[in-house]
Chains A and B, each alone.
Chain A
Amino acid sequence: MRKYALAAALVTLALLLTALSVRLGVADIGAEKILKIILSELGLISTEAAGVSAHERAIIWHIRLPRTLTGAFVGASLALSGVMLQGLFRNPMASPVVVGVSTGGALGATSAIALGLGAASIWAVPLSAFGGALATVFLVSLVASHKGHTPLGALILCGMAVNSVAGALTTLVLSYSVSDFEIARQILFWLMGSLTNRTWEHVILVAPFFAASAVAAAFFGRELNLMMSGEESAMALGVDTARTKAWILVIAAAAAGASVAVAGVVGFVGLLVPHIVRMLAGPDHRRLLPLSMIAGAVFVTGMDLLARTLSPAGEIRLGVLSAGVGGPFFLYLIVKNRARAEMF
């Protein structure tokens, strides 16, 4: 019963935060107007019947709604990626940022922007981010894992190395692009992690990647559980470990890459969310995966709402806030669970 209660609570919270995120802002637009705008945009009522100003329509339909949805997808994708990576490395410390997948994705995205590929196709940036993420997760798994074991130290050191190389290369790309102000500004944006000025285009970019990885991930719940007791044990119990690992790698990279492509590097979601959900719902991936995705959406939507309402001018970036809130909370979790050292 407890798992259903948790699922219900998370879904309720997600809907509540989505509604709040669309409702709250500098311009005070009532719930009834919002509903009318959405219904008329969906073609369910005529634009005239809605009776709202073009200005209000633009705020709700073109600013707040895509931003909220992008945030929800980003959070869900990062949490999904975190669950997959923690499963892949059998290590609860793995996350898109720790492993370097996010930074690799950012490098892919910035390279695409700097080369002007973004103008060629809207898919260029997310695909490059996916490529960068996939390359880094592959590299880390190649270097940090030996004979099917991934020691925590090796994983974190390897992640650090990959992070610094990808970070340096991103800075290099950035320094070559400084002459073009617009490109430099876009790249900086990615690096800080933000949902400002997200449009429907971003929703359309992140949604299919998220949906595809979520559906693919659903097929691997049992395999992930079995992989937790070690690669050889999983193999002995019938898991095709090589194929499973390849799939997990691709899914984790797709989810993280897509989220990096539309929102930049947002830290701690992929680490923190699976952790909290695992504490509440247990380690079974068939529960952990869906619950973490909803919880990730809740976390990012909530953080972005906070970022917007604390500072309407937008000085607080989502990446800053999620790390600022997530970091201390994670420290608290470590202290609280120090006795059960095997958790960390």
Chain B
Amino acid sequence: MRLKVDNARVELGGRDVLKGVSADFRPGALTGVIGPNGAGKTTLLRALAGLVPLKSGRISLDGEPIDAFERKETARRVGYLAQKHELAFPFRSDETVMMGRYPHQGRLAPETDADREAVAAALRDVDAGDLAGRAINELSGGEMKRVLIARTLAAQTPVLLLDEPFANLDVRHCLDILAILRAQAREGRTVVVSVHDLNLAHRFCDELLLLHQGEVLVSGDPQSVLRPRFIEQAFEVRAQILPVNGGEERHFILRTMEGEE
């Protein structure tokens, strides 16, 4: 599904967090949203999921405005994983992932085989099959994150929005999750993920959207977005780009503006 945002403005607590953001997220691509803290990455993802009202502008799914859908209809189309979570009650991991199936379930209908298969597949995808029977609040930070990613995958939505899914993840699981998200995109899904690590963003994303102070500074393929001058303007750091693996990949070395060298 094509997720499009036109000139979206969002005001939170009297502050303009998004100041007219436009972007086009195409199916089949893994798009990374990058930018410094407070640039509006989280707000953009929340707005795309229909969780914060727009002051003006429009967000559409295949041309249909997202606010025309009922909550459950939106949830069948758009999966969203927030950065923070509240886990006050000791649900098991598989029960937690099953919650991702909610938009597909009838009010009092029992879980179907399709639900159970989706849950098992999602847990397998994030390498958390062995965590299924454990209480979610007894897992480590990284294990919990993987279970929550599985919950988002279990909904099998054509659009996936993940806000910093890599926090708390070790290197291996971080790469694994990126590989899964890429595979999801290759299957035709629209995948949008906010990333902090520019090296990861460059290596794994098909498209990048660089946010700066609530506006899109630049967007496009990683090569054209991750130029030293954009990085310097948005992040206020000095960037040096080194070709590695015979120029196939790039490595970013970032220093403070005041730094020596």
Binding site for B on A (CB under 8 A): 90-92, 149, 218-219, 222, 225-226, 228-230, 232-233, 235-240, 278, 282-284, 340, 342-343
Confirm or deny: B168 has a beta carbon within 8 angstroms of a beta carbon on chain A. no
Give the Cβ gap from B68 to chain A, nearest Cβ, in Å.
15
Contact B51–A284 (Cβ < 8 Å): no
Contact A235–B90 (Cβ < 8 Å): no
Choose one: A238, A278, A284; the contact of B74 (CB below 8 Å). A238
Chain B residues within an 8 Å CB radius of A149? 86
Contact A342–B71 (Cβ < 8 Å): no
Confirm or deny: B255 has a beta carbon within 8 angstroms of a beta carbon on chain A. no
Chain B residues within an 8 Å CB radius of A239? 71, 102
Contact B86–A229 (Cβ < 8 Å): yes
Chain B residues within an 8 Å CB radius of A284? 91, 95
CB closest chain-B residue, reference A87: B89
CB closest chain-A residue, reference B91: A283
Q: Nearest 7 pairs between A and B by C-beta?
A: A238-B75, A238-B103, A283-B89, A236-B80, A230-B86, A238-B72, A240-B71
Chain A residues within an 8 Å CB radius of B84? 230
Confirm or deny: B60 has a beta carbon within 8 angstroms of a beta carbon on chain A. no
Give the Cβ gap from A13 to chain B, nearest Cβ, in Å.
25
Contact A236–B51 (Cβ < 8 Å): yes
Count of B interface residues, CB-CB < 8 Å: 34
Confirm or deny: B155 has a beta carbon within 8 angstroms of a beta carbon on chain A. yes
How many angstroms between the C-alpha atoms of A149 and B85 in the bound complex? Answer: 11
- Residue of A226, A233, A239, A284 with highest tally of chain B CB at under 10 A: A233
Give the Cβ gap from A216 to chain B, nearest Cβ, in Å.
12
Chain A residues within an 8 Å CB radius of B103? 237-238
Contact A238–B91 (Cβ < 8 Å): no
CB closest chain-B residue, reference A221: B108
Give the Cβ gap from B138 to chain A, nearest Cβ, in Å.
8
Binding site for A on B (CB under 8 A): 46, 49, 51, 70-72, 74-76, 79-82, 84-92, 95-96, 99-100, 102-103, 105, 107-108, 137, 151, 155
Contact A228–B88 (Cβ < 8 Å): yes
Chain A residues within an 8 Å CB radius of B95? 225, 282, 284
Give the Cβ gap from A253 to chain B, nearest Cβ, in Å.
22
- Residue of B99, B107, B151 with highest tally of chain A CB at under 10 A: B99
Give the Cβ gap from B5 to chain A, nearest Cβ, in Å.
17
Contact B85–A235 (Cβ < 8 Å): no
Contact B102–A226 (Cβ < 8 Å): yes
How many angstroms between the C-alpha atoms of A175 and B87 in the bound complex? Answer: 46
Contact B88–A90 (Cβ < 8 Å): yes
How many angstroms between the C-alpha atoms of A230 and B168 in the bound complex? Answer: 19
Choose one: A233, A236, A282; the contact of B90 (CB below 8 Å). A282
Chain B residues within an 8 Å CB radius of A219? 107-108
How many angstroms between the C-alpha atoms of A253 and B161 in the bound complex? Answer: 37
Choose one: A92, A218, A229; the contact of B87 (CB below 8 Å). A229
Chain A residues within an 8 Å CB radius of B87? 228-229, 342
CB closest chain-B residue, reference A231: B86
Give the Cβ gap from A279 to chain B, nearest Cβ, in Å.
9
Chain A residues within an 8 Å CB radius of B51? 232, 235-236
Chain A residues within an 8 Å CB radius of B72? 238, 240
Chain A residues within an 8 Å CB radius of B155? 237
How many angstroms between the C-alpha atoms of A90 and B91 in the bound complex? Answer: 13
How many angstroms between the C-alpha atoms of A284 and B87 in the bound complex? Answer: 13
Give the Cβ gap from A226 to chain B, nearest Cβ, in Å.
5
Contact B75–A90 (Cβ < 8 Å): no
Choose one: B74, B76, B82, B89; the contact of A233 (CB below 8 Å). B82
How many angstroms between the C-alpha atoms of A42 and B43 in the bound complex? Answer: 64
Inter-chain pairs besides A92-B88, A228-B88, A343-B90, 16 sampled, C-beta below 8 Å: A91-B88, A222-B107, A226-B99, A228-B89, A229-B86, A229-B87, A230-B82, A230-B86, A236-B75, A236-B82, A237-B75, A237-B100, A237-B151, A238-B76, A282-B92, A340-B137
Contact B88–A225 (Cβ < 8 Å): no
CB closest chain-A residue, reference B101: A237
Give the Cβ gap from B151 to chain A, nearest Cβ, in Å.
8
Chain B residues within an 8 Å CB radius of A91? 88
Contact A278–B89 (Cβ < 8 Å): yes
Contact A233–B85 (Cβ < 8 Å): yes
